[in-house]
Amino acid sequence: MNLSKAKIEAKKLTNELNKHNHLYYVENNPTISDYDFDMLLKRLQELESQFPELADENSPTKRVGGDITKKFETVVHKYPMLSLSNTYSEEEIEEWVTRVKKQVEDDLEYVCELKYDGVAIGIQYVNGRLKQAVTRGDGSQGENVTSNVKTIRTIPLTLKGDFPDDFEIRGEIFFPLNNFQKLNEQKREAGEQEFANPRNTASGTLKMQDSKVVAERGLDCYLYGVYGTGDLRDGHFETVQKVADWGFKIPSEQKRFIEKTNSIDGVMDFIHYWSEERGNLPFEIDGIVIKVNKYHKQEELGYTAKSPRWAISYKFKTERVETTLQEVTYQVGRTGAITPVANLEAVQLGGTTVKRASLYNADQIAKLDLHENDRVFVEKGGEIIPKIVGVNLDVRAKDAKKIDFIHECPECKTELVREEGEAHHYCPNEKGCPTQIKGRIEHFISRKAMNIDGIGAETVDALVEAKLIENYADLYTLTFDEIYDLERMADKSANNLLKGVEVSKNQPFSKVLFGLGIRFVGETVAKKLVKSLKNIDNLMNASFDQLIEIDEIGDRIAESILAFFEDEENKVIVARLKSYGLVFEIEEKENSSSKFEGKSFVVSGVFTAFSRNELKELIEINGGKNVGSISKKTNYVVAGDKMGPSKLQKATDLGITILSEDDFIALLNE
C-alpha cells in the first residue's frame, strides 16, 4: 500500500472510530461489537506504524494512552476560572434571587445544574480539534494535562457540525463510582492501602505521569460551560444544548441533570429532588449550581473579585448521624495487616443501616481520641464507606476509658509489629496465625486466582479446623474419603471440590503467581513479572536490580518478592505445587531463540516495518529484556524516527550501541 491509499483508509477509519466512540460512551447506544471496534482500532494503529506521518495527535489511537509527562506545563487561562459563592442555606438562595431581581428588574430565567464532585477542566478546540486541556489551578493559571484528558473517552478529540474556529469548553472530570470501587478492589487484592474517595482519586489520576494508567482507570466528564463562541445562543441553557451537536457529552435534561426555570419554586424543587436522589447517581455530586440563564443579564449583573454575581452554589450538608460506639474490634488480613473496626449502635445513614465503620489504623484512633461508649458522629466517606469523623465530648462520661490500639494479634496472641513508614500494624506469625492461613488459602482459590469451584470460605474453615490442610498446596493431596467425612459434605459436593482442584491445574502462570499471595503482587504486577521472567525459577533467582528493571516493579514490590522466596517454607510449597502439575512458566512462541540472552534493550521512536510493541516482542522471544530507561547496564538502543534527542544523547554518552530498525533486523537474522 502506498501513502496516498493509506491516507484515505486512515481518514475513513478515524471517522468511523470517532462515530462509534461517541455512540458508545456519550449516547450509550453502541452499534458494533467491542471486537469489531478493536479490529478497526488495530488496523488504524498498523497504518500509523507503517506510515508515521499519518499518526495525528488527535487520532483515536491516543485514547489508550502511553505518553509520559515528567512535568506539567503551567498555562495562563484566557478566561479566568472563577470559583462560585457557596451556601448551605435555602434562605440564602432566596436572598440571592432577591438581590438579582433588584439589580435586573424584569423577569429572569434560572438554570439549575448538578455540582459534580470532581476536577474542573477547561478544554480549547481550534478548527474542531482538541488543542489543550488545563486544570483550574488558582483560577488564573492551571496545569496542561492534555495527554491525560485525551484518554477520557467521552471527551471528543475532533468535532462535528457548525462549531466556531476557536473556543473553550469547561466541565468537570470525575471518577464513576463503579470504576472507583473496582480500583479499590485491586488495591485490596494487592495488599495496598485503598483510596479514600473518588474526588481526590480523580484529581490524582489526572496528574499522573503515565497517560496509559489514566486510560485504564476510566475517568468520565460532563461539559457545560462555553466561552469564546460569540452570540451562538442567547442563553447558557440553549448553548449547552447546542454543543451536544458538536459531539460533547452534556448534562442530560431527561435525567434532570440540568433544568431551566423562571421561579424560585422551580429552583427549590430541583434542590429538594436531588437532596433525596443523589445517592442513586453513578457518580458523586456535592450540591447544585444555580445560574441566571440569559447572557446579557449575566453581563448586567457582573462579577465580584472572586466570583460571578449571576451564579451561586448550594452545597449539600454531608449527612451525619450520631450513635454510640459499642466496641472496637480488630480484623486480621491475609497479609497480617490489622484493621480496627468500630462496632456501632445501628443507625440509618444514606438510606442504609450502618453498624460498623472502619477506623483504618492506630493513628486514626489516636487522632479521634476515642473512649469506650463514646457518642460518635458518623459520615459516609466519599458517599461509600462509613467513617467516624468526630466525638460528642459534651456527653462523654468522666470515667470513660481511653481506647488503646492492641499490642497482640487477636487471633494468635503474637506481638504485633509496625515497620517504619507503614500505616498498619502487622501480625508477623504468618505460618501460625489461623486467620492468615485461611486468608491465604481463600485468596488462592478465588476467582481471579485459581478459580477453584466447589470451595468457599466455610469449606476452607472446615478443612483447616479438621487439620486436613495447612496451606494451599495441601489442597492437591485431598482425597474423597477425607473430605466426605466433613460436616455438610455429600458425595456430589466432595466430587465437585476434587474436580475443581484438578481443573485449576490448567490456570496460566500469571494466575498461579497471583494466587501465591505475595504481598503487593496483584493481578497486573503478576502479569508483568510473568511476561518478563517467563518462569518461576527465573523469578525465584532474580536479584533486586533485575526486578526493579521490570515495568511497574518498584522497590517495595521487589523487596516483598525477595522476602517471599527467601523463606524456605515458601520454596517447599512452590516445589510441591510444581510437582502437582500447576503451570509455572509461559510457553515460548515459535521462532524463539536465546540469541539475545542477557542483553537489555531500550526501544524508542517510530518505526516503519514494525510497531514498537512488535519490536519488543521480538526481543523477548529471542531471550532479550526490554527496559524502560537508558542506563549503563543497557546493551542496545533501537532508535526510530522522532526519538527524543536527550535520550539519544544519553545513549551516545554512555557508549551504548545504537541500532536503526534495519540494524536490528540484521542483528536478529545473524
DSSP symbols for 237-289: HHHHHHHGGGT-----TTTTSEEEESSHHHHHHHHHHHHHHGGGSSS-EEEEE
367 and 299 within one domain: no
476 and 356 within one domain: no
237 and 179 within one domain: yes
* Cell matching residue 478: 485431598
Q: Output the pLDDT for position 28.
A: 63
Helix, strand, coil share of the chain (percent; to 5): 40, 20, 40
Domain boundary among 464, 490, 506: 506
572 and 444 within one domain: no
Note the Cα 439 to chain centre separation in Å. 25
Q: What is the pLDDT of residues 490-513, one digit of tens each?
A: 888 899 999 999 999 999 999 999
* Helical pair 523-533 and 177-189, crossing angle rounded to 10 deg: 60
Does the reported pTM lie above 0.85? no
| Mean per-residue pLDDT of the chain | 88
- Residue 115 catalytic? yes
Query: What order do you get walking across the sheet with 166-174 strand by strand?
Result: 129-135, 119-126, 166-174, 220-227
* Cell matching residue 217: 482507570
For residue 599, pLDDT beyond 80: yes
Q: Which H or E run includes 292?
A: strand 285-292
409 inside domain: yes
Task: State mean pLDDT over 202-223.
Answer: 91
For residue 656, pLDDT beyond 70: yes
For residue 585, pLDDT beyond 90: yes
pLDDT over 90 percentage in the chain: 54
In this structure, the number of other CB atoms found within 10 A of the CB of residue 338 comes to: 22
Whose CA is closest to 552, among 213, 196, 148?
213
Q: Output the pLDDT for position 383.
A: 47
Residue numbers of the domain that contains 467: 434-506
Catalytic residue among 62, 115, 150, 380: 115
Task: State mean pLDDT over 391-409.
Answer: 95
Domain boundary among 368, 394, 427: 427
Task: State mean pLDDT over 174-194.
Answer: 85
Q: What is the CATH number of the domain that holds 235?
A: 3.30.470.30
243 and 137 within one domain: yes
397 and 362 within one domain: yes
Q: Tell me how far apart the alpha carbons of residues 573 and 470 are, in angstroms, rounded to a whole number.
A: 11
Contact 433, 411 (CB under 8 A): yes
23-37, 203-217, 463-477, 574-588: lowest mean pLDDT where? 23-37
**How many structural domains are present in the chain?**
6
Q: Output the pLDDT for position 382.
A: 45
One-letter identity of residue 411: E
587 inside domain: no
